[in-house]
Every structure is written in C-alpha cells, then in structure tokens.
Structure 1
C-alpha cells in the first residue's frame, strides 16, 4: 500500500518524501505545482492536480491503494493571508475537507497533518506546550486551527485517526544537496539572509530592535527540515502501531535572535551580509519557541541537526549550487 503525500513537491513535503523513500515506503506525491517544484521530487509516483477539485481527488483514491495520508498542501505565508484571507480558507480548509471526504469514502483512516505553532498566537508560556491555548493572530494560523478542529470531529465521528504536528521555521536543506528551500516570493529569514550573501539582495531587514530580548530582536525556533521530515515518519508509524490521535509540537528547544542568525550566517558564508533596521511588523511576538518534550518522550524523536550553524551550512550548500532555485 502507498502513503499519499499532498504538497509533496513543496519544501517540507519533498524532504518528507525523501525520508519515506529512505524508509522503503511506497510513496504517491500529489501536488498542483502551483508553489511546488517537480524537480524536488526524488522518487515515488507524482500526480499533478488540485485538492480543491473533488472529482480529481476522489479519482486518486479510487485508482490507488492508499494506506495513509501525510497532508502538507497549503498556502503558508502569514502576510499574504492577511491580505486575502478567503483565498487561504479556500485553499487550506476547503481542500482539506475534500481530502477528508475522499479518505472517508475510500476507507482510509490515518492522516498526519502539517500544522503550525501559529495556531497558538501570542504564547502563554515559553517554550510553548501542546496544552496551551490556541488563539491565532492571523488568518493563516486560523485556517490551520480550523482544520485541526475538523480532524477532531473526523476522528470522533468517522474514525479517521490523526497526528497533528505544530512547528515553526523549518530550515536548512537535504544533506545530499539535491533539494532545498525555494519559495517565490521568499519570506523566510535564513534564505533571505543567504540571498544577501549571494548578492541577490542588497541587505537583510531587521524588523525592530527594542523587543524584550537580550539583543532587542525577535527570538525564533529553527528546526532542520530533515528532522521535521523524520518526525512525520514517526507520526505515521505511531498511527500504524496504536491507531490513536495525538498532537505534538516540534522545535529546537532553543531560540535564536534575528541578530544571532545573521551573525552565524556571516560565519558560515564568509560574507559581510549587510543588515538594516526596519520598523516593527504588526503581530510579531518577541519570543516563539516550542517545546518538543512530548514527541521526544512518546515517539523517541531525536533531532540530528539541531545546531543552527549546521542548519545554515546545509542551506548555504544548496543555495550556492542552486542560485536560481530549481530554475538553475
């Protein structure tokens, strides 16, 4: 039987496909390629199509023997979600309901859902715990939380079991150097910094330097994308082993400030990397760090690349060899 990975040609999805293939899984990748890249798929069967098309997704389940789903397909940019929230609801929520309906009709009862720590909003605790309240501060986080709520009822009423993974700031690139992070437009800090190092961008903007943190800049949690991918495989195996639903945070356990990330990138790249201070952005919490104690304890998750210098080194290796992204 196959594992269906929706959004499997995206950044985290493609790395999870690579991890599944290393674990000898039979993988089907479903992606519209609207924001994914065909070149990032290292194996498996690629099906091109859109989850918003009910007839299409039902056909995928009828024509393939699918054991479980790992669901990444979604829009992810917070800023874009505040400009066009209905677009995000249509893509992130409606498409997932179509997916769940197709799963239910086909008798597929296991799903790993790629959620976000943005579901928490302004954190109650640092590090953030799975039991903390969820009160998103942007439409993106709200769409993910809406799906989480749908999964709860799909479990209790339909028997579709889930593992929800909430995380911030996937970073780095595959150790092989074959796949990495390529968003257009790019909004994530580490690849933006590396674009400066490559001469593709004049400077990196630091949005605010008077936060209540040691150096005045925001602190965030960065986790290597391959470690994230491994967590999705562990989540899949958990559903196989005990067929029970659960929510887990994924994080490094340690936060790094914007200035610290820039300084480490200067060290890794050997480039000066000009930075400029810009006004604060609305809704940027000072510190966002997630606790991973639960998944470490229950699923024996053991991140291999949790040193920020290593994370940036892998990203730099990929960006140097793919200066135009997948359009090299």
Structure 2
C-alpha cells in the first residue's frame, strides 16, 4: 500500500503521517500549507504542495506515487470562521472532497479514510454519544463534515471503494513538542495563551446542568488519534473489507471545563482562578463519546490521559511561543 495523506503537514496530519510511516506504511503528503508546516514531516516522506481542489494535480499525484489508499484530513475546521464564511467552507471541505473522490475513482483507488468530526452530532441530550445518535449539526463546519460523510459513502458504493469515517472528539496534546498545535483555537492553547499574556483563563458559563456547572467534553490525545488512523487504514487493507464503517474516536470519559482549567494550572504552575463569563451560543452541556465501536471494529482504545495531553501540549507551547 501507498497512502496519500491530504493535510498531512498539519497538526493532526503530521501525527498521522508519523504513526503510519513508523509502522512501515508508505506515505505521500498533499498539503496546501495554509496551516501545514513541512518541517513536521519525516524527511523521507514526499510532500506535494497543493490543494484537493486541483483535479489535475490530484491525478498526477495518484499516478506518480502509485497511490492505493487515501487518508483525507485536509479541511477548514474553525467553527466561528465557518459561520462567517459558509460558502468558503462548503467549497473547500465539500468541493475539495468531491474533486478528490472523482480522482480516486478514476485512478482505481479502493481504500478511503475520511476525517470527520463529532460536530456532525450537534448538541444531543444524551449521556454517551454513539454512532447511532442522530446527527443535527449546528454550524456550517459540522454541516460540511456530515455532507462529506454522505458523499464518501455514496462514492464508495458507486465505485466499489471501501470507506471509513472517523468522528473525532476534542483533540489535544502532542507526541513531541515540534508537532504541537500552533493555533489558538481550541481550549487548551486558548488557556495557555491567556496565561502567557498574564491574564486569567476564561470559562464560558458555569450554570449548565453538570456536576460543577461547566460544560463537559471528551478529550483525545492526538497520538492516540493517529494510532486510530493507522488501525483504520490497516482494517481497510483487509481483502474482505467492503462498504463503510463510521466510528467515534474518543476516550469515553467526560472532563469539565473547570476540571481542565484546574489541571492546566497545576501543569503550568499558574493556578490563578478563572474568570466566568456568559455562555457561548451553541455550547452543549455535555458531549462525550461512546468508544465501544472503535474498540470492537478497529481493535483500538485510547491509552493516554488528560495530564499527558496537557503536559505534552504545554511543552509544545513553550517551544513555539517562547513561554
């Protein structure tokens, strides 16, 4: 097998590329470098700079590298940005996927792994979100991921492509500091950013129907997520695999925002009290995965806990931001 990883120079993509090459898989990366960093990749991994919207480039890459499977991570992924720029999100996330699937079908590639998101579920009022929980996304980003799943399954059925969709929950941490998330869009780096600027962390709402009043989320270490991709890719290579698998990737454990902020204070040595502000629109009180299907179908379970996520992310933050 030779795997094309789109978005493979990004935060998650680079971890996936390293996990797969470390396990002996052949990999080539396509990344438009809008968020990707070439230095994250192992030196022997070919990097092609370009977009999944470029049909001619895709055709050449698939042929020149004799690609036999695709891991599609390339996408825009910021919720607030998707609300402000919905047409851009549909064009890049859904349009890019459609262009890629056309090229994949034409090239005879028969294995396709799609990076989806727990955002497809919206805000379900359930204790654990299973893969059968109804999908009702509440923002354009989540809509594009759900539409992407539909498209992947339809193309798979039409062209005989075995497909898998991985619905990530909240990703944090780093396998090594150089691979850390350099953006300030997710809660862990957002708290780091406030502390680095000598400001108190913020909690948006403490009156939710949860044990401490703050939102509860499921966090997954990015290295565990990368290993889930490897397990899913290898499952796709089995000779008898047909059709589609859709699976949650999380730990199945809830952590409240207040618990997370307290842990970050302990890890960073800056335990200042958080400022409580008003709720943000659209935040669900609780979003925790059922991870049972991933264990059963992929033979995969997360092995890293919250302290390791926060400590590894902090080491990466210090490297990239001079903290």
TM-score (norm 2): 0.95
CA contact (8 A) 2:182 2:320 kept: no
Offset at 1:62? 2.3
Separation in structure 2 between the aligned mates of residue 321 and residue 274 of structure 1, nearest angstrom: 25
Indicate the SS of the match to 1:147. helix
Offset at 1:202? 2.1
Divergent runs of 4+, >4 A: none
CA contact (8 A) 1:124 1:132 kept: no
Alignment of 1:195-210 (within 5 A): 195-197=193-195, 199-200=196-197, 202-210=199-207
Matched residue, 2:318: 320
Indicate the SS of the match to 1:260. helix
Deviations 1:111-167 (A, max 9, x none): 111100110112142210001111111110000010111111112211111111001
Separation in structure 1 between the aligned mates of residue 169 and residue 221 of structure 2, nearest angstrom: 11
Separation in structure 2 between the aligned mates of residue 171 and residue 46 of structure 1, nearest angstrom: 25
Offset at 1:89? 0.2
Unaligned runs of 5+ in 2: none
Check 1:9–1:129 CA distance in 2 against 1; reply closer, same or farther (3 A cut). same
Deviations 1:226-264 (A, max 9, x none): 000000010011111132220110111111111100000
Offset at 1:24? 1.2
Indicate the SS of the match to 1:97. helix
Matched residue, 1:93: 94
Separation in structure 2 between the aligned mates of residue 161 and residue 293 of structure 1, nearest angstrom: 21
Separation in structure 1 between the aligned mates of residue 171 and residue 187 of structure 2, nearest angstrom: 11
Matched residue, 1:131: 132
Indicate the SS of the match to 1:162. strand
Matched residue, 1:213: 210
Query: How many corresponding residue pairs?
Result: 320
CA contact (8 A) 1:202 1:274 kept: no
Provide the aligned C-alpha RMSD in A. 1.4
Deviations 1:55-110 (A, max 9, x none): 22122112221010001000011111111111100010000001000101100011
TM-score (norm 1): 0.94
Is residue 2:248 matched to residue 1:246?
no
Alignment of 1:166-315 (within 5 A): 166-174=167-175, 176-183=176-183, 186-197=184-195, 199-200=196-197, 202-241=199-238, 242-244=240-242, 245-305=244-304, 307-315=305-313
CA contact (8 A) 2:294 2:301 kept: no
Separation in structure 2 between the aligned mates of residue 163 and residue 256 of structure 1, nearest angstrom: 27
Matched residue, 2:113: 112
Offset at 1:52? 1.3
Separation in structure 1 between the aligned mates of residue 236 and residue 26 of structure 2, nearest angstrom: 17
Matched residue, 1:82: 83
